[in-house]
Amino acid sequence: MDEIRAHLKAFRTTDWLILIAVALVGAAVLDGIIGLIVGAIVGYLGILAWHRGAFGNRNGRKGDDPLP
Q: What is the pLDDT of residue 58?
A: 58
- How far is it, in rounded angstroms, from Cα 41 to Cα 19? 9
**pTM confidence score:** 0.67
Taking CA atoms, 36 is separated from 11, 21, 33, 39, 41, in Å, by 19, 10, 5, 5, 9
Q: What is the mean pLDDT of each run of 10 residues along the chain (68 residues)?
A: 80 85 89 88 86 66 54
Neighbours of 15 (CB within 10 A): 19
Q: Which residues contact 67 (CB under 8 A, 6 or more apart)?
A: 61
